[in-house]
C-alpha cells in the first residue's frame, strides 16, 4: 500500500505531529508514505518525497508543515481534477491522507467522485469544522493569543487606553471568544453577530465614567459592524476558494471608538502570529491521535471518512458531515458579557 499525505490551506500548529504519526503508524502496516508538497498543488504538478521515520523524528514540536501548504483549488483550473487523479495514479498512490479544513477536505470529497480514495484529518485554527468537537491547532492559537492579549492589556492599563486586538477567525468567532474570555476582555466581537458601534461606545464610556479608564476589545477579523458592511469584506481580494482576504476590522473599530468617545485607543493585529510556532501539549496529543487513527481508517478501507474527536474519543465520520460550518456556541459570548 502506498499512502500519499498532504497539508492544505492555512497552516497551524500540530501539522508536523500528524505527519509524524501517519508515518509511524504506516510503518506498523508496512505501508509506504509519500509526502505531497504544497497541498493539492503537489498533485497538479507532481512534487513529492518519500517519507520514512528518520525524516519525521523530532517533528512533533515543530510549527508549520514540513510538506509546505497552499490554497490551491484544482477545481478552479481547467482539467485540474482529472490531472490530480491521473498524477496520483501515475505515482502509484492507493489513497491520500488529506490534512486540512473545509477547503482541502471539500476538494478531497469532490475528487472522490473522480476516483480518488482519501481519508481526512480536520485542521484549522478557526475550529469551525462540524463533526469534530475540536480541530488541532485551535488551542495553541488561543494560548498564543491569550499571552499576547495579556501583554497588550497591561500596557493599555498603564496608559489608561482602550486597546483593540484583532485575532483570526473568518467565519466563526471561536478564537475571539476563547482568547477574549481567557484574557478578561470587556468586549468580544465575532462574525456570527454583527456589532453595534454605538452600543460599544456607550459601554466603554460607561466604564470610563465609573473609573475604569482602560478597556480591552477583542475582535475577530470576520466580525462586521451593523452600520458598515464593507468594513470587513466588501471589495476584498478573494483566494482560490472565493474567501475574502480579511484584516483591518480592528483598525476600523479602534478609529471609531476614539472618534466617537474621545478615549485614547490603540489597535494590534495578531494575524498570523497565532498560527505559527510550536503546538501546545493538547494539540500535540490530539494531532498524534488523529494521525494514528487516520492510518487505521486506511487499513480498514474506510475511505471518504474523517477522523474526529467526540468527547474524549477518536471516532470516524463521513467527511460530508464535517464540511458544514461549526459556528460559535453563543453561550460563550454570554459568559464573556458578564465581565463588561
Residue 169 binds to ligand F6P (criterion: CB under 6 A): yes
Window 242-281: residues binding ligand F6P (CB under 6 A): 245-246, 275
Closest CA to 152 of 123, 189, 184, 128: 184
Least distance from C-beta 224 to ligand F6P, angstroms? 14
161 binds ligand F6P (CB under 6 A): no
Interactions with ligand F6P, residue window 208-237 (CB under 6 A): 221
**Which residue's CB is nearer to ligand F6P, number 244 or number 304?**
244
**Which among 163, 148, 150 has a CA at the least distance from the CA of 219?**
163
What residues does 164 pair with on adjacent strands?
Answer: 217, 267
* Identified binder of ligand F6P from the candidate list 168, 190, 269, 295, rule CB under 6 A: 168
CB of 141 to ligand F6P, least distance (A): 8
Contact region with ligand F6P (CB under 6 A), list: 44-52, 166-174, 256-264, 320-328: 166-174
Min dist CB 23 to ligand F6P, Å, is 24
Please state, in angstroms and rounded to a whole number, the distance separating the CA atoms of residues 100 and 34: 17
For ligand F6P, give the closer residue by CB, 7 or 215: 7
Question: Do residues 245 and 170 touch, judged by C-beta distance below 8 A?
Answer: no
The least CB distance from residue 169 to ligand F6P, in Å, is: 6
**Closest separation between CB of residue 192 and ligand F6P, Å?**
14
Which of 102, 126, 143, 267 touches ligand F6P (CB under 6 A)?
126
Helical H segments across the chain, by residue range: 15-28, 41-44, 53-56, 80-90, 102-112, 138-159, 174-182, 197-209, 249-261, 281-300, 319-322, 331-337
Question: Which residue's beta carbon is nearest to the bound ligand F6P?
Answer: 10
Tell me whether strands 95-100 and 2-7 are parallel, antiparallel or unpaired: parallel
d(CA 16, CA 278): 10
| Residue 222: closest CA among 263, 259, 271, 168 | 168
Which one, of 150, 39, 201, lies nearest residue 104 by Cα?
A: 39
Positions marked active-site: 126
Q: Does 336 bind ligand F6P (CB under 6 A)?
A: no
Q: Which residue ranges make up the site for ligand F6P (CB under 6 A)?
A: 9-10, 124-126, 168-170, 221, 245-246, 275
Amino acid at each position: 500500500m502506498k499512502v500519499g499525505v498532504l497539508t492544505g490551506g492555512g497552516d497551524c500548529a500540530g501539522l508536523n505531529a500528524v505527519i509524524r504519526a501517519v508515518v509511524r503508524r504506516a510503518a506498523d502496516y508496512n505501508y509506504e508514505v509519500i509526502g505531497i508538497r504544497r497541498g493539492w498543488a503537489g498533485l497538479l504538478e507532481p512534487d513529492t518525497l518519500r517519507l520514512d521515520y528518520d525524516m519525521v523524528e523530532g517533528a512533533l514540536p515543530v510549527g508549520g508543515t514540513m510538506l509546505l501548504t497552499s490554497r490551491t483549488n484544482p477545481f478552479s483550473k481547467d482539467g485540474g481534477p482529472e490531472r490530480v487523479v491521473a498524477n496520483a495514479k501515475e505515482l502509484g498512490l492507493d489513497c491520500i491522507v488529506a490534512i486540512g479544513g473545509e477547503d482541502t477536505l471539500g476538494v478531497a470529497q469532490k475528487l472522490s467522485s473522480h476516483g480518488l480514495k482519501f481519508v481526512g484529518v480536520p485542521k484549522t485554527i478557526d475550529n469551525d469544522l462540524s463533526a469534530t468537537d475540536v480541530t488541532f491547532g485551535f488551542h495553541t492559537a488561543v494560548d498564543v493569543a491569550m499571552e499576547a492579549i495579556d501583554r497588550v492589556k497591561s500596557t493599555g492599563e498603564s496608559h489608561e487606553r482602550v486597546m483593540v486586538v484583532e485575532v483570526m477567525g473568518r467565519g466563526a468567532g471561536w478564537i475571539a471568544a476563547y482568547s477574549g474570555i481567557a484574557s478578561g476582555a470587556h468586549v468580544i466581537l465575532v462574525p456570527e453577530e454583527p456589532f453595534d458601534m454605538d452600543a460599544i461606545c456607550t459601554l466603554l464610556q460607561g466604564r470610563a465614567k465609573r473609573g475604569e479608564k482602560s478597556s480591552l476589545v477583542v475582535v475577530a477579523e470576520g466580525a462586521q459592524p451593523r452600520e458598515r458592511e464593507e468594513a470587513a469584506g466588501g471589495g476584498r481580494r478573494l483566494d482560490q476558494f472565493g474567501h475574502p482576504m480579511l484584516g483591518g476590522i480592528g483598525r476600523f473599530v479602534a478609529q471609531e471608538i476614539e472618534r466617537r468617545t474621545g478615549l485614547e485607543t490603540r489597535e494590534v493585529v495578531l494575524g498570523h502570529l497565532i498560527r505559527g510556532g510550536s503546538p501546545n501539549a493538547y494539540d500535540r496529543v490530539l494531532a498524534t491521535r488523529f494521525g494514528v487513527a487516520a492510518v487505521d481508517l486506511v487499513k480498514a478501507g474506510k475511505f471518504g471518512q474523517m477522523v474526529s474527536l467526540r468527547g474524549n474519543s477518536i471516532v470516524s465520520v463521513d467527511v460530508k458531515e464535517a464540511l458544514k460550518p461549526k459556528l460559535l456556541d453563543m453561550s460563550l459570548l454570554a459568559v464573556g458579557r458578564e465581565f463588561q
